[in-house]
Amino acid sequence: MRRRGFEHERDLVRRLWSEGFAVMRAPASGSKVKRTMYPDIVAIMNGRVFVFEVKTSYREKTIYIPRNQVEKIIEFARRANGKAFIAVKIIGSGTWRCIPIGELEETRGGNYRWRSELVRKGLKIRDLVEMVKSCKKIDEYLD
């Protein structure tokens, strides 16, 4: 299962790289540093930083994210001045959907949830590219 997880992470790395991002995957380990500091993937373009925790789903179902994973990528994104996302790969279709951390729902147990009916409305990779490019246009007015 861990091996399969990495394959999906690599798929997201490849897709973001081919869109022009600088992308890095975290070391594959159950080490403390991975659990407490590193997101699964960081993607950067034109100084804009996207931080990802990666999930997979065999269909569009509700996705649960432990509180510590959410806190970890929030802290990483805060330091970088970046934006934190959960990225889910829908295995059947091979498509990716992303949601900004701030749009997750908190559960009563203090963890987080991304409801199945909202997964399909998540951001596509091309939406992330668009976020970078539209931001670049704004910067161009300042240069």
State the CB neighbour count (10 A cutoff) for residue 9: 20
Residue 21 interacts with a copy of itself (CB under 8 A)? yes
Q: Which among 28, 29, 70 is positioned nearest to 51, based on CA atoms?
A: 70
Residue 10 interacts with a copy of itself (CB under 8 A)? yes
29, 93, 116, 134: the catalytic one is 29
Residue 109 interacts with a copy of itself (CB under 8 A)? no
* Buried b / exposed e along 73-97 (16+ C-beta atoms within 10 A): beebbeebebbbbbbbbbeeeeebb
Q: Does 29 qualify as catalytic in the annotation?
A: yes
- Please pick, from the candidates 58, 81, 117, 138, the single residue that binds a copy of itself as defined by CB under 8 A: 81
Q: Give the residues lining the site for a copy of itself (CB under 8 A).
A: 10, 13, 17, 20-28, 33, 37-39, 42, 44-49, 51, 76-82, 142
